[in-house]
Amino acid sequence: MSDEEIPQYDGERLAAEYRASRERMSTLVEAASDDRRRTIVRACPAWTVHDLVAHVTGIAVDLSSGNSPSGDAQPWVDRQVEERRSRPIGDVLSEWASASARFEPMIAASPKAFWGLVYDLIVHEFDLRNALGDRDSRDIEAVRVAAELGLRLVKGDLRKAGLGAIVVEMGGRRIRVGDGEVGVTLRATPFECLRLLGSRRTREEMAAADLVGDVERYLAALVHMDLPVQSLGE
């Protein structure tokens, strides 16, 4: 098995992946009871399911309206959630669909600017599924696409940390990420790669994964957020 570079996707494909994830998430939330919508999202413990939908909706609304964050983005995100917290979920989903009619063409036109939000949405889709007790769809094509997009984040973090390359073996492919000598090799399914490199695994779960090499030294580049203290139970 020869090494491959991280796959690249054009804007139309990324916009289609965003749209499909949005539609899957909307269907799941519409079918959920009010109690399930108030469930805490383990991967984002400050948020309920409703809040998570408010978050992704607010991003689409603001960016499609030219309202981008300046400096620290957290107040921008917090406002988006708070503004929608007391609104009926049907209204929030309708707002998301309306904003996405403007936002998805922006993704198609500027994939370099927005690929990270496609990755973020698919990650959140599975945060949502976990909160709702849904274990389906872990082998859909979108998971592999998102896992590969996540490798772009890892590549940038490796460069910033002055580290060599890693190799990721998933789905019958061997993808080389970064430059220089290979310091770590990960073998995982696309779903587990997405969750493990997306900071959705505890340190204990990271240690139990099929990671070979100087993992401790590379850890800061393998994940880009604080790791959960408790397992998400996936």
Per-residue pLDDT of the chain (234 residues; tens, 9 = 90+): 789 999 999 999 999 999 999 999 999 999 999 999 999 999 999 999 999 999 999 999 999 999 998 888 999 999 999 999 999 999 999 999 999 999 999 999 999 999 999 999 999 999 999 999 999 999 999 999 999 999 999 999 999 999 999 999 999 999 999 999 999 999 999 999 999 999 999 999 999 999 999 999 999 899 989 999 999 999
Round to whole Å and give the CA distance between 99 and 95: 6
CATH number for 142-222 (one of 1.20.120, 3.30.1050, 1.10.287, 2.60.40): it is: 3.30.1050
For residue 1, the SS3 value is coil
* CATH code 3.30.1050 region(s) in the chain: 142-222
Q: Which helix or strand (DSSP H or E) is residue 211 part of?
A: strand 211-213
**Which residues neighbour 84 within 8 Å (Cβ) at sequence distance 6 or greater?**
50, 53, 54, 57, 58, 92, 95
Q: How deeply is 225 buried, as exposed, middle or buried, from its count of CB atoms within 10 A (0-12, 13-18, 19+)?
A: exposed
> How many Cβ atoms sit within 10 Å of the Cβ of residue 210?
11
pLDDT score at 198 = 96
pLDDT for 224 equals 87
Cα 20 from chain centre: 14
| Burial environment of residue 74 by CB neighbours within 10 A (0 to 12, 13 to 18, 19 or more) | exposed
